[in-house]
Chain A
Amino acid sequence: MRTASHLRVGDQPWVKWSLISLALTLVGLLLVVPLVAIFAQAFSGGLQTYVANLTDYYTLRAIGLTLFVAALTVPINLVFGVFLAWLVTRFEFPGRKLLITLIDIPFAVSPVVAGLLYLLLYGSNGWLGGWLMDQDIQLMFSWPGILMVTVFVTCPFVARELIPLMQQQGREEEEAGVTLGASGWQLFRRVTLPNIQWALIYGVVLTNARAVGEFGAVSVVSGNIRGETNTLPLHVELLYQDYNVVGAFTSASLLAGIALLTLLVKSFIEWRQMRQRAALSEEEV
């Protein structure tokens, strides 16, 4: 196929190797070194200090709150995402395209702006805030506010994963199910869900990762009450401001650990999806 006169860019070994080493150096400097540094700093005081920092009352409360918010955010956005993806891929209605675009707003908007929007709406000087205050309902500066902004920031993930897949799969299988007399719930359980399950899990993993790590939006509505409205990412900053560098990196190492775990699960799911697709195309042949 190829002759000496048709050398492409990068065919010469020195070009290839210098490009590879450049890429590796950049990846090392930008990704690997900071990641290693987090753990190195976290353990710089020895294992005992690490455990002591980890079991500090306020750190435990921050972990608890973060997990609590994520545990509520994920199911909410799971249901919302599936519902939305189903709606826009299975039905034709005016404004459908617009809806698909609107889903992406939380991606496009800076999280800090999202937080401020919620504050302006629900804060005591806000449109709804005054009324809420009269009813003695505290949304902002307490966990419901944190949950609200987290749901907002993470709401596109599940839908974004499902929409392309469901568009690609089409609705033939579901229509077949309907003609065979399946109820809506049966249809979803037996036909739709098995088809989208891996994309769904992927969406959930991403939602969870973001919900755990969200800083900007949460920091606006948190109120920074220690042990009460302080999430893990906020706790990292707070410890750092307090000159407790090792403590800050200890909490950061937890977040980094979650990130690594997310990547692992993500790779596994991608591998599963690839096998599934390969099996599918074999069947078709």
Chain B
Amino acid sequence: MKLAKQVKTLAAALALGFSAAQAQAADQSLLNSSYDIARELFASYNEHFADYWKNKTGQTVEIRQSHGGSSRQAQAIIQGLRADVVTYNQVTDVDVLHERGNLLPADWREQLPNASSPYYSTMAYLVRKGNPKNIQNWDDLAREDVSSVFPNPKTSGNGRYTYLAAYGYAQQVFGDDQAAIDAFVRTFLNRVAVFDTGGRGATTTFVERGIGDVLLTFESEVNNIIAEYPDHGFEVVVPKVSFLAEFPVAVVERHAERNGNLELARAYLEELYSEDAQRLLAGFNYRVHNETVQAEFADQFPPLELLTIEQIAGSWESAMTEHFANGGKLDQLQRR
């Protein structure tokens, strides 16, 4: 049995090594389930929070991060991933935690300021060097000589926001004239060169395959893309009117309670609203509510009119059923 014994010792040693490394000497540990591209943001905020918590309570805290597409992340929590807090980029993905898992209360949006959205962003344009097609606003995207790239609103939150932004703009311009609104959005959708399934795919299409004159994505993301591809000379254009993209946060109360982390989890999210944290968030190209920080970053964030989901479609629920469900407005307008 020598071989079997050796194997056993090896496995035990490995297991020990792995789990020993895992149980780092922190007093408390918190699991944050987050969206895809927020890794650096939270790596930075977690450092800030760990210091803050240490000063306040004298305890060390280790914050573990899980990142992925936020709908899938929510699904994992319902299936048993014991995250203490969620920091997502879509309100509907937090709602799901209440509806299907009853893991947090229905009124989660009232638990923290600004509808539980400590920071926000909007849809902006990334155009090629020198903005050769002179793209400034939504009506430019309906022009015949312009082709745009953004992810499919059916599969991507990013794409949904873009669609709603264009729709909201049309509502503003055409008022009650539903036929004109529909016509505008139909043309806008017709000008799309490629519908990728996600934001990353759309970026690849625009940058590496060189398709389209304009890429539509979060303002926060646009700046990351410019930093990632400095040689292309891309430029950012922020339209005069756009959609308010909220980044909702919530404590997954049932899990946090179980993990004995309720107080820590609440403090983790509340601290996001502090001036230092807001400054840190602004540094990652997100817009924030704190007025001092807003003034500091005024150059970076041109003022614009932000339309809320309530203004455009009443609520997320009705937006989903009226616009994005099968046979909904989006499907009708896409039919060519």
Mark A residues whose CB is within 8 Å of B: 61, 64-65, 67-68, 71-72, 75, 119, 123-126, 129, 133, 138, 140-141, 143, 223-229, 238, 240-243, 245
Contact = CB atoms under 8 A, between A and B. Distances in A.
A226 B64 contact: yes
Interface string B1-45: 000000100110011011001100000000100001101100000
A123 B40 contact: no
The 7 closest A-B pairs by CB, nearest first: A124-B80, A123-B79, A141-B81, A225-B66, A223-B81, A243-B228, A224-B68
Contacts of B79: 119, 123-126, 129, 140-141
Contacts of A68: 14-15, 18
A62 to B, nearest CB: 12
B240 interface: no
Nearest to A228: B64
Given A72-B14, A123-B80, A125-B78, A242 B21 contact: no
A71 B67 CA distance: 26
B67 A238 contact: yes
A61 B19 CA distance: 11
A124 B39 CA distance: 27
Interface residues of B, number: 30
B82 interface: yes
Contacts, number: 78
Which of B37, B78, B82: most chain A Cβ within 10 A? B82
A64 B78 contact: no
Interface string B199-220: 0100000000000000000000
A71 B39 contact: no
A45 to B, nearest CB: 13
B7 A75 contact: yes
A65 B18 contact: yes
A242 B81 contact: no
Of listed B22, B65, B81, residue having the most chain A CB within 10 A? B81
Interface string B62-94: 001111100001001011111000000000000
Interface in B134-167: none
Contacts of B73: 224
B209 to A, nearest CB: 15
A228 B22 contact: yes
B67 A224 contact: yes
Given A140-B79, A225-B65, A243-B225, A64 B40 contact: no
B178 interface: no
Given A75-B11, A124-B80, A226 B67 contact: yes
18 contacts: A64-B17, A65-B18, A67-B14, A71-B10, A71-B11, A72-B15, A126-B79, A141-B76, A141-B79, A141-B80, A141-B81, A224-B67, A224-B73, A226-B66, A228-B22, A241-B200, A242-B37, A242-B39
Contact of A64 (B21, B31, B81): B21
Contacts of B37: 241-243
